[in-house]
A = this chain, B = another copy of it.
Amino acid sequence: MVVRFTNQRQEILDYINSKPHHPTVDEVYTAVKIKLPRISKATVYQNLKVLAEKGYIKEVNIKGASRFEPILDEHHHIICRECGKIIDYESKALTEYSMTLAKNMKDMDIEFTNTNFYGKCKKCKKR
């Protein structure tokens, strides 16, 4: 199965690569619609899925909804439990340590790891 590089696919990929912002499907749809007004949401869903499967982008699940991010150096996420805000957090040491543990697991072949730090952001803490 050949993966064709259509306009729609390219715009979606470009948008996700343009900002470290972890957009939702709707955010991608709204943004890409400006350049390609006739695009449908189903196409956005389909392409996000394909792009993630083929390894062009990465899918993250926060509070029940899918979000997407570029392929960056392996990193971790700081997540507000209340509003779902995400901050990227890089720690090679943590990644390496996790992967060391992964090598000793026999139940599954581990491909990558991700550590989530859950808490409350400043805004949500005020309330």
Assembly stoichiometry (copies): 2
A113: which of B115, B120, B122 is its contact (CB, 8 Å)? B115
Q: Are A105 and B120 in contact (CB under 8 A)?
A: no
**Is there a chain B Cβ closer than 8 Å to A112's Cβ?**
yes
**Is there a chain B Cβ closer than 8 Å to A108's Cβ?**
yes
Q: Are B98 and A117 in contact (CB under 8 A)?
A: yes
Known interface pairs A110-B118, A114-B118; 7 further A-B residue pairs with C-beta atoms within 8 A, sorted by A's residue number? A61-B63, A61-B64, A78-B107, A108-B119, A111-B119, A114-B115, A115-B116
Binding site for B on A (CB under 8 A): 61-64, 66, 78, 80-81, 87, 89, 91, 94, 97-98, 101-102, 105, 107-122, 125
